[in-house]
């Protein structure tokens, strides 16, 4: 099927199979490398992206439901305060889960406290096999604080 959406501020048009997932559409059609597929069953969060501001798991979200929508991947938040804080805290090792972590932090509503406990609950759906989450959690707390302080 012909598929189109606004992806990271750019209009994307491509052909995808009718049963394609959003991750397949973004990775295959839109050549977006900021969406990673690690589990394929919506359990690890590596494929996290925002559809009209709502966080979804791209690997199990049907592409057709995102048709014509505004989609944000980690590329939308590249080098922003959250990404920078994750890097500085040593939260990036292999990096395969990192874009999904960046999107997850950007998706948090204002009632999530920017504390270690708040972040541990908020990121429980994002798997990482490298870091033991210590650098990731510290970076996400700092990043969320900076984001809320309006840091560019």
Q: Summarize as ranges the residues that interact with other proteins (CB under 8 A).
A: 17, 27, 32-41, 43-44, 46, 73-75, 77-79, 83-84, 86-88, 90, 92-99, 102, 116, 119-121, 123-137
Q: Considering the complex, what minimum distance in angstroms separates the CB of residue 49 from other proteins?
A: 10
Nearer to other proteins by Cβ, of 50 and 73: the residue is: 73
> What is the spatial distance between Cα 55 and Cα 152, in angstroms, rounded to a whole number?
21
Nearer to other proteins by Cβ, of 63 and 97: the residue is: 97
Q: Considering the complex, what minimum distance in angstroms separates the CB of residue 30 from other proteins?
A: 12
CB distance 140 to 123 below 8 Å: yes
Q: Considering the complex, what minimum distance in angstroms separates the CB of residue 59 from other proteins?
A: 10
> What is the spatial distance between Cα 95 and Cα 130, in angstroms, rounded to a whole number?
9
For the residues of 54-78, what is the DSSP string, one character each?
Answer: EEEETTTSBGGGGTT-EEE-GGGGT
Nearer to other proteins by Cβ, of 25 and 75: the residue is: 75
> What is the spatial distance between Cα 145 and Cα 11, in angstroms, rounded to a whole number?
31
């Amino acid at each position: 099927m012909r598929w189109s959406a606004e992806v990271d501020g750019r209009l994307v048009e491509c052909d995808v199979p009718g049963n394609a997932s959003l991750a397949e559409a973004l990775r295959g059609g839109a050549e977006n490398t900021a969406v990673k597929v690690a589990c394929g069953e919506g359990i690890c969060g590596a494929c996290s992206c925002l559809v009209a501001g709502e966080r979804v798991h791209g690997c199990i979200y049907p592409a057709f439901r995102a048709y014509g929508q505004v989609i944000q991947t980690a590329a939308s938040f590249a080098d922003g305060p959250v990404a920078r804080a994750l890097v500085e805290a040593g939260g990036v090792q292999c990096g395969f889960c990192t874009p999904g972590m960046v999107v997850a932090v950007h998706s948090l509503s204002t009632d999530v406290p920017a504390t270690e406990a708040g972040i541990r609950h908020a990121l429980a759906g994002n798997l990482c096999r490298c870091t033991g989450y210590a650098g990731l959690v510290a970076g996400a707390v700092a990043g969320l604080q900076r984001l809320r302080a309006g840091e560019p």
